[in-house]
Amino acid sequence: MSDHDLPPARRDLARRYEAVRHHTLSLAEPLSIEDQSAQSMPDASPAKWHQAHTSWFFEALLLRPHLPGYQPLDDSYHYLFNSYYEGLGPRHPRPQRGLLTRPSLDQVRAYRQHVDLHIRQLIARCDDAQWAVIAPTLELGLHHEQQHQELLLTDALHLLSCHPWRPALLDSPPAPAPAGTSAWLRHEGGLVEIGHDAAAEGAGFAFDNEGPRHRVWLEPFEIASRLVTCGEFQRFIDDGGYREPRWWLSDGWATVQAQDWRAPLYWVDASDGDAAAGASGATSRWAVFGLHGLRPLDPAAPVMQLSFYEAAAYAEWAGARLPSEQEWEAASSLSGIAQLHDQAWQWTRSAYHPYPGFQPLEGAASEYNGKFMVGQLVLRGGSVATPPGHTRPTYRNFFPPAARWQFTGLRLARDARPRAETHA
Amino acid sequence: MSDHDLPPARRDLARRYEAVRHHTLSLAEPLSIEDQSAQSMPDASPAKWHQAHTSWFFEALLLRPHLPGYQPLDDSYHYLFNSYYEGLGPRHPRPQRGLLTRPSLDQVRAYRQHVDLHIRQLIARCDDAQWAVIAPTLELGLHHEQQHQELLLTDALHLLSCHPWRPALLDSPPAPAPAGTSAWLRHEGGLVEIGHDAAAEGAGFAFDNEGPRHRVWLEPFEIASRLVTCGEFQRFIDDGGYREPRWWLSDGWATVQAQDWRAPLYWVDASDGDAAAGASGATSRWAVFGLHGLRPLDPAAPVMQLSFYEAAAYAEWAGARLPSEQEWEAASSLSGIAQLHDQAWQWTRSAYHPYPGFQPLEGAASEYNGKFMVGQLVLRGGSVATPPGHTRPTYRNFFPPAARWQFTGLRLARDARPRAETHA
Amino acid sequence: MSDHDLPPARRDLARRYEAVRHHTLSLAEPLSIEDQSAQSMPDASPAKWHQAHTSWFFEALLLRPHLPGYQPLDDSYHYLFNSYYEGLGPRHPRPQRGLLTRPSLDQVRAYRQHVDLHIRQLIARCDDAQWAVIAPTLELGLHHEQQHQELLLTDALHLLSCHPWRPALLDSPPAPAPAGTSAWLRHEGGLVEIGHDAAAEGAGFAFDNEGPRHRVWLEPFEIASRLVTCGEFQRFIDDGGYREPRWWLSDGWATVQAQDWRAPLYWVDASDGDAAAGASGATSRWAVFGLHGLRPLDPAAPVMQLSFYEAAAYAEWAGARLPSEQEWEAASSLSGIAQLHDQAWQWTRSAYHPYPGFQPLEGAASEYNGKFMVGQLVLRGGSVATPPGHTRPTYRNFFPPAARWQFTGLRLARDARPRAETHA
Amino acid sequence: MSDHDLPPARRDLARRYEAVRHHTLSLAEPLSIEDQSAQSMPDASPAKWHQAHTSWFFEALLLRPHLPGYQPLDDSYHYLFNSYYEGLGPRHPRPQRGLLTRPSLDQVRAYRQHVDLHIRQLIARCDDAQWAVIAPTLELGLHHEQQHQELLLTDALHLLSCHPWRPALLDSPPAPAPAGTSAWLRHEGGLVEIGHDAAAEGAGFAFDNEGPRHRVWLEPFEIASRLVTCGEFQRFIDDGGYREPRWWLSDGWATVQAQDWRAPLYWVDASDGDAAAGASGATSRWAVFGLHGLRPLDPAAPVMQLSFYEAAAYAEWAGARLPSEQEWEAASSLSGIAQLHDQAWQWTRSAYHPYPGFQPLEGAASEYNGKFMVGQLVLRGGSVATPPGHTRPTYRNFFPPAARWQFTGLRLARDARPRAETHA
């Protein structure tokens, strides 16, 4: 079925649907069948599961309620591939996703095709009234799948990091990330507007947690023009950063000691006699594991795979602090700011809480974001693993403070004196 | 030694020192030697330990650095009674405070007297320059001891709650807490000032985390004139509140299931065949354990000993939400607001983070508050267990969201439409 | 290379080598690539790992030390596929075997062929002196691989039991196991000889833990002619067996309560609303999962997949006891005894300890059995999953008392009065 | 009431009752109220609890069923002080015995007097038929209390070992334990009789687990004339014994690594910078904590407070093994054997299992021993903490293989060639 006869809005969404769905497959391509089925820790999911779950999302929120006569490929998938939607019934326990050796990868691919076929039918056949209902959820499903594209990479990388071989996910070498000098960029603060304005013309998509747009008062601050680099973070380590409680929040210090942290998650210490590190050709003490395998530490590359605790400790050591999410968003339009969306998610000091007047989506999608609004910190920006076009300045990513396996880095901030005072 | 010859400022502080120190002893008085030595969980400390630690605080921060020739009563106490001050050296592990059968209670009382004697000397003998240095820390030590007075009661109550007898800490009956009708009080929002202003005339004492005073922008909101009562909370339970995931934050629901929560911590379900509950004379289903023992649920009494998760779930069920700490503080001066400081600490939806421009205290006291600023929620107000005069509108108490053994309750809030809109 | 030119002893062993190695592959055949890579719990290993480890055993104990010029296919396999041999160097942690997505199954099959090729060379080329050294270890390797054949099935079954589908490993229906009436068979006791006599003519292979042959004194006893059936065990359950502490050893009762045991591991209670159980066509309350999938409980089939604790509790309830391993071995030649080796391993009351004069094998193989001789119970017999010809009356299998995922059942025994006394 | 009018058998038991009960109090005497109330780990009980539980035993098994009109001092004690008797109803959880701050020590002492008073009445008033029923249980209660006398010391010592001060339980110095040379004593083996013969003339008391007397066949063996000393064990440590897996059973090695064991439980390594060790005046590397405090290692003293794993590893390193419990008992009458009952319990290689024909006691006492007969190892002998007269050659003590806080040591054994062979 060609999409040429569709109204432009439908055709555009249909084409993006195809592109997003295809991109997921291309990301999984370097992984073997076994790679795609294994689960390296309860927080991480198998690549096969991500491929199935993103299809389930379209099935559960669109096909089942909206496509007349829709027949699921397999009724049990509704249980197997629900992630955390209490309103959609019981689900397979998250820590046991790696035991779902069945359906096979081939069957999951067939499931994807089954869902794709019927989504195309739904787009083509629904009337305009239905389309008005369907389109926002279809759009949500695409952004949902893009989030899982990053998670697929993140989780696969964690799996490979657990293997003694430390195999490379990608054959190519990493793109160089010349850092240059970091500059302090100044923001005057005051009453600023933050968040997504759904009513604005050409507003585009945003998750419910990005709104409503609202006013906040900011004091003057300065923010770094780029992210903290591996070379800079290495100096923190060399200065005994991981052995000195004074830099750490109390929970962070307890975690450092309980988990014996000595460096970011994927840093490998050659002096530990790690065979893989030796094999990586590192001449310095540290090698760093990433999408391109284990490579000698690149001092100019942004430091990644660190927790909020480590980010906050580094900032303290550096005589600075993390920005709040409001500061980050206000600063995102400053001239000279770099590495906003393309290197690493940036820990902020802000807890992930609802904005004033926040209303979750209706129905099953109400569980998408709101129920996680405690115990997590907001990250802003985007990473090398974020699909192009997925993120934006109002985007709010979030993880618990001890999470380390994401593409997470940091950008420094500090208080600024008011201008008048400066001139005095 | 009489204090009549002291300058008024010193005399005032010296008298308050005596009063605070004496009050600690009076709180411990109903407890037996064994009661004062036991530790019911890692988060709770023995009453004996609280008595020693508050003395250690004065010794470590004042007598050792500032009283020439001071001889500690026992050098090992510096290790035994340090709580969490990394900068003051290693310390006895918190979960093993209940194993400190020695020093005996008598010896701890002697330690208190030893410290008291030398604090009096310090106050009397130091010159004015020294006094300027000492006085703020002495003041801090008194407020510190008052915090531990509440903790002593809280922890002792937890210990007694673990005993099959559920013995009463106090012989007297609880004061009646007539709730009356709860009214919604309106606040117009806008740019408001929050926090303690240390530079203001007659500012009085505040902890470092209460400042600096700063501006925040608030949207219009409404807040309840009183706390949620046991009777109201019972309706949430009767409506299946603890069995329905939709009211709960995700972490909260996981905790409800993992811990099998069915009611606030000290509610005893008579239908469980709990002997002590039966003995309490409860005619309803629930009895509630408290400072005055196990008593029939009083529908008008504020609900207490619940977690942030439970407070937030109740609010969701009630079609409301928790206030932010800024809303709470702004509302504290509204006409008609009741039960601000005298019943239960009130969970807010605000994470415990530093205010803009926050600077911790200097020296050892820098660890007092700042290093706990992640993973906790702010509580505002005060409780029946808070020493009179200890709290104030800018006061920021904080606990992790799952903590239940404190005197913690909730006050509802909700968004308000702007006035203009209302009149339209 | 044909084996026709080999001396008969070598040819015989070479042929058995081929047969055993081939049998392993045939057992794995019904499993998908994903099935063979997953690990369902720390105690269970992936089928792929079993296939690799059994090859590693030949490589590590024969090819590396004895085949001149042998080149391993991959040096890292020595680390990946060592199980527990401390003397052979460090090894991959057991609980993370399921994360070894690489090498792939294809690569493991190539590893098997690589080892097979060189074992054939070793057999063909070694001189007689070498053969005398090699042959016992080669024999040991075959019996080792047979043990892992049973474990491969056991572990695969556990994996499938964790899947909501409860898929069948084998398509065929189970062979009927008509139990008939159980009879008490009498043994007079006295001084009997137990264990493997390596010096006896035609002794055949035995593991080191089966010897030396030695005398033990037995009191008269009776032993059941067959195993306890599912129908009999169901009566224990119906009588409240899992709720009544009096039948249980203290550790067993603690485990029942902590793990909420209500039936043997693979019994599925239809009244729990288990979908798969309903689908199995069971008309009774219980369905039982096994190699042939989830099927209605067969009252005549031996009960399996139970722990020592459950076996001992059943025996207590039945007014009997478990046999000692010496009683079992002595009774194995009694006329009328059935189901010795072909249904389920039979828990004995004997701790797994060394026989008097026990000497472990030399070299790396010394770790094969001896170091496990504490904390485990001896099982005797063999099961439906034991490869034909692998077991014998002196065979000592062993597992911790809480282990449930093996093909383990029970045979009753009881004390007998001496004959004279009986006649009195 | 005088006991002069009692029949001799009653009078004798009554006097022993008084002596045993008094001895318990004298053991607790050096401990403070706080010492007697604290619980240092789930396996250890507070001294106050031991004093109450031993009274409860008399009350529950004698006074309640046999003394007409008996009124318990407090009904709740039946719940608080039951240890593990499922047949006598629910009980306070073992890990929370340290939270039983009430009843106070004074109240527990009053409970003891209440029980004593009524036991005296029971002895005085019952008729001969009743006496025949009562006397064995009264005797059992005395031996039970003696077991708890040792446990009271053991548990108190563990509590004190957890305190940074490492306070001495006893003021006096330890008695010297001159070890002398250890000799190998030979036993010819053969058919020997083992266990308590209840029917023998003048049999005396024994626990049910010591019988029935029965025959076992032993191979010839040799046994050490004395226990392994601290000096000998230090050589094992110096030789890297705790770092070398080859000496260890697999479970033992896993425990060494998981718990970071480097020496017996109460050995303190001065090179660790342990303040208390430095203060003990030790000139060697090690100091050893015991009933008399922390003292320099005495090379001639028996090594104690070690686990079965450590005992077995030492024996392996020494080219010997542990005796079986049957060997130990058979050897106990050999000429020249020393340190049988007065230094440390001696780990045997024998699992704690029922003897052939074992019958537990009737009624509640049936739970005394039998239900623990899995997962534990038998210890023979007695220790410095065993009350005089309590133990005997048939006595079977038992603990899990990882238990370290008891007064447990080891005596070596080894296989012997048959005499004829030796002479050949």
- Tell me if D250 and C349 make a contact (CB, 8 A cut-off): no
Q: What's the mean per-residue pLDDT of chain D? A: 94
Q: What is the mean pLDDT of residues A226-247?
A: 97
Same domain, D195 and D135: no
D41 interfacial to chain B (CB closer than 8 Å): no
A418: pLDDT confidence band, cut at 50, 70 and 90?
confident
Same domain, B149 and B8: yes
DSSP for B229-262, please give it: BHHHHHHHHHTTGGG-GGGS-HHHHHHHHHHT--
* Residue bearing tokens 């999302």: A57
In a domain, D423, yes or no: no
Quote the percentage of chain C above a pLDDT of 70.
96
Quote the percentage of chain A above a pLDDT of 70.
96
Same domain, A263 and A195: yes
Q: How many CB pairs (< 8 A) connect A and B? A: 79
| B53 contacts: CB under 8 Å, gap ≥ 6 | B45, B81, B82, B83, B148
Strand partners, A289: A294
D424: pLDDT confidence band, cut at 50, 70 and 90?
very low
Which of C212, C169, C221 is closest to C193 using CA atoms?
C212
**b/e map of C69-96 (b: 16 or more CB within 10 Å)?**
ebebbeebbbebbbbebbebeebbeeee
Put residue C137 in one of left, alpha, beta given phi > 0 → left and psi -120 to 50 → alpha. alpha
pTM over 0.90: yes
pLDDT at B175: 84
Same domain, A216 and A356: yes
Q: Nearest chain B residue to A194 by CA: give it.
A: B217
Residues from chain B contacting residue A218 (CB–CB below 8 Å): 356
- Of C48, C92, C98, nearest to A164 by CB-CB distance is C92
Using only C-alpha atoms, chain D has a radius of gyration, in whole angstroms, of 23
Residues from chain B contacting residue D76 (CB–CB below 8 Å): 164-165
Put residue B311 in one of left, alpha, beta given phi > 0 → left and psi -120 to 50 → alpha. alpha
**What whole-number distance in Å separates Cα of residue A279 and Cα of residue A295?**
9
pLDDT at C206: 97
Which of A302, A331, A249, A332 is closest to A409 using CA atoms?
A302
Give the domain-ending residue among B161, B196, B213. Answer: B161
In a domain, D420, yes or no: no
D280: pLDDT confidence band, cut at 50, 70 and 90?
low
Put residue A267 in one of left, alpha, beta given phi > 0 → left and psi -120 to 50 → alpha. beta
Q: What is the mean pLDDT of residues D268-293?
A: 75
Alpha carbon distances (Å) from B193 to A153, B186, B203, B398: 45, 17, 15, 21
Dihedral Cα A267, A271, A277, A283, nearest 10 deg: 100
**What whole-number distance in Å separates Cα of residue C389 and Cα of residue C387?**
6
Residues from chain B contacting residue D165 (CB–CB below 8 Å): 76, 102
Residues 244-303 of A with CB under 8 A from B: 245-246, 248-253
pLDDT at A417: 83
Question: Where in the sequence is the domain holding D188, given as residue range(s)?
Answer: 184-415
C42 interfacial to chain A (CB closer than 8 Å): no
B99 interfacial to chain D (CB closer than 8 Å): yes
B159 interfacial to chain D (CB closer than 8 Å): yes
Q: How many CB pairs (< 8 A) connect A and C? A: 73
In a domain, D167, yes or no: no
Chains touching chain D at 3 or more Cβ pairs under 8 angstroms?
B, C
In a domain, D171, yes or no: no
Q: What is the mean pLDDT of residues A364-389?
A: 95
D91 interfacial to chain C (CB closer than 8 Å): no
| D278 contacts: CB under 8 Å, gap ≥ 6 | D270
Which of D403, D404, D384 is closest to D298 using CA atoms?
D384
Does D4 score more than 80 pLDDT? Answer: no
Q: Which residue has the higher pLDDT, B25 or A275?
A: B25
Give the domain-ending residue among C161, C194, C223. Answer: C161
Q: What is the mean pLDDT of residues A22-28?
A: 98
- Of B37, B100, B162, nearest to D96 by CB-CB distance is B162
Residues from chain D contacting residue B167 (CB–CB below 8 Å): 102
- Tell me if B104 and D32 make a contact (CB, 8 A cut-off): yes
> Measured between CA atoms, how close is A124 to chain B, in angstroms?
34
pLDDT at D174: 87
Residues from chain B contacting residue A375 (CB–CB below 8 Å): 251, 375, 401
pLDDT at C423: 44
Q: What's the mean per-residue pLDDT of chain B? A: 94
Domain with C389 in it: what CATH number? Answer: 3.90.1580.10
Q: Nearest chain B residue to A245 by CA: give it.
A: B86
Best C41, C101, C159 member to test A by mutation, with max A CBs in 10 Å, is C101
Residues from chain A contacting residue C164 (CB–CB below 8 Å): 76, 79-80, 92
Which tokens is C21 given? 């190695």
B41 interfacial to chain D (CB closer than 8 Å): no
B33 interfacial to chain D (CB closer than 8 Å): yes
Which of D386, D396, D162 is closest to D268 using CA atoms?
D162
In a domain, D359, yes or no: yes
DSSP for A226-268, please give it: SPPBHHHHHHHHHTTGGG-GGGS-HHHHHHHHHHT--S-TTEE
What sign does the CA torsion over B389, B393, B394, B395 have?
A: positive
D4 interfacial to chain C (CB closer than 8 Å): no
- Of C87, C217, C373, nearest to D216 by CB-CB distance is C217
- Tell me if D34 and B159 make a contact (CB, 8 A cut-off): no
**What whole-number distance in Å separates Cα of residue D378 and Cα of residue D389?**
20
pLDDT digits (tens, 9 = 90+) for A381-408: 999 999 999 999 999 999 999 999 999 9
C89 interfacial to chain D (CB closer than 8 Å): no
pLDDT at C272: 75
**What whole-number distance in Å separates Cα of residue A357 and Cα of residue B221?**
10
- Tell me if B32 and D92 make a contact (CB, 8 A cut-off): no
pLDDT at B281: 55
pLDDT digits (tens, 9 = 90+) for D178-195: 768 999 999 999 999 999
> Measured between CA atoms, how close is B414 to chain A, in angstroms?
9
Does C280 score more than 90 pLDDT? Answer: no
Q: What is the mean pLDDT of residues C175-179?
A: 75
Same domain, B140 and B236: no
Same domain, A244 and A151: no
Same domain, D136 and D197: no
Q: How many CB pairs (< 8 A) connect C and D? A: 79
Same domain, A256 and A343: yes
- Tell me if A374 and B312 make a contact (CB, 8 A cut-off): yes
pLDDT at B284: 72
* Residue bearing tokens 């009566």: C235
Angle between helices C250-259 and C308-317 (to 10 degrees): 110
- The alpha-helical segments, DSSP class H, found in D204-333 are 230-238, 250-259, 275-279, 308-317, 325-331
The strand pair at A345-351 and A408-409 is best described as parallel
Backbone angles phi, psi at D172, to 5 degrees: -70, 155
Q: What is the pLDDT along chain B (424 residues), one digit of tens a residue?
A: 567 788 999 999 999 999 999 999 999 999 999 999 999 999 999 999 999 999 999 999 999 999 999 999 999 999 999 999 999 999 999 999 999 999 999 999 999 999 999 999 999 999 999 999 999 999 999 999 999 999 999 999 999 999 999 999 999 988 877 768 999 999 999 999 999 999 998 889 999 999 999 999 999 999 999 999 999 999 999 999 999 999 999 999 999 999 999 999 999 998 776 555 555 554 578 999 999 999 999 999 999 999 999 999 999 999 999 999 999 999 999 999 999 999 999 999 999 999 999 999 999 899 999 999 999 999 999 999 999 999 999 999 999 999 999 999 999 999 998 776 544 4
CB atoms < 10 A from the CB of D189, how many?
Answer: 21
Does D92 score more than 70 pLDDT? Answer: yes
Quote the percentage of chain C above a pLDDT of 90.
89
Q: Nearest chain B residue to D31 by CA: give it.
A: B101
- Of A38, A76, A92, nearest to C98 by CB-CB distance is A38
Same domain, A263 and A382: yes
DSSP state, residue D273: T
Q: What angle do CA C75, C78, C83 make, to 5 degrees?
A: 165
In a domain, D424, yes or no: no
Same domain, A304 and A359: yes
> Measured between CA atoms, how close is B109 to chain D, in angstroms?
15
- Tell me if B34 and D37 make a contact (CB, 8 A cut-off): yes
Which of B331, B368, B7, B344 is closest to B188 using CA atoms?
B331
Q: What's the mean per-residue pLDDT of chain C? A: 94
D146: pLDDT confidence band, cut at 50, 70 and 90?
very high
| CB D407 within 8 Å of CB D345 | yes
Does C88 score more than 80 pLDDT? Answer: yes
Residues from chain D contacting residue C191 (CB–CB below 8 Å): 191, 217
pLDDT digits (tens, 9 = 90+) for C281-314: 545 789 999 999 999 999 999 999 999 999 999 9
Alpha carbon distances (Å) from C400 to A151, B419, C342, C408, D407: 40, 72, 22, 12, 27
**What whole-number distance in Å separates Cα of residue A46 and Cα of residue A159?**
9
> Measured between CA atoms, how close is D288 to chain C, in angstroms?
28
Strand partners, B398: B378
Which tokens is B390 given? 């200890």
| CB B128 within 8 Å of CB B135 | no
Q: What's the mean per-residue pLDDT of chain A? A: 94
Same domain, C211 and C88: no
In a domain, A82, yes or no: yes
- Tell me if A35 and C159 make a contact (CB, 8 A cut-off): no
- Of D217, D373, D374, nearest to C191 by CB-CB distance is D217
pLDDT digits (tens, 9 = 90+) for B352-381: 999 999 999 999 899 999 999 999 999 999
- Of B308, B312, B373, nearest to A249 by CB-CB distance is B373
A351 interfacial to chain B (CB closer than 8 Å): yes
- Tell me if C372 and D245 make a contact (CB, 8 A cut-off): no
- Considering its fold, how many domains does chain D have in total? 2
- Tell me if B415 and A377 make a contact (CB, 8 A cut-off): no
Residues from chain B contacting residue A86 (CB–CB below 8 Å): 245-246, 253
A214 interfacial to chain B (CB closer than 8 Å): yes
In a domain, A219, yes or no: yes
DSSP state, residue A418: -
Does A355 score more than 80 pLDDT? Answer: yes
Q: What is the mean pLDDT of residues A139-154?
A: 98
Q: Nearest chain C residue to A79 by CA: give it.
A: C164
> Measured between CA atoms, how close is D304 to chain C, in angstroms?
21
Q: What is the mean pLDDT of residues A17-30?
A: 98
Chains touching chain A at 3 or more Cβ pairs under 8 angstroms?
B, C
Same domain, A280 and A329: yes
- Of C32, C40, C76, nearest to A165 by CB-CB distance is C76
Strand partners, A130: none
pLDDT at A204: 93
Does D423 score more than 50 pLDDT? Answer: no
**What whole-number distance in Å separates Cα of residue D402 and Cα of residue C191?**
35
Using only C-alpha atoms, chain A has a radius of gyration, in whole angstroms, of 23
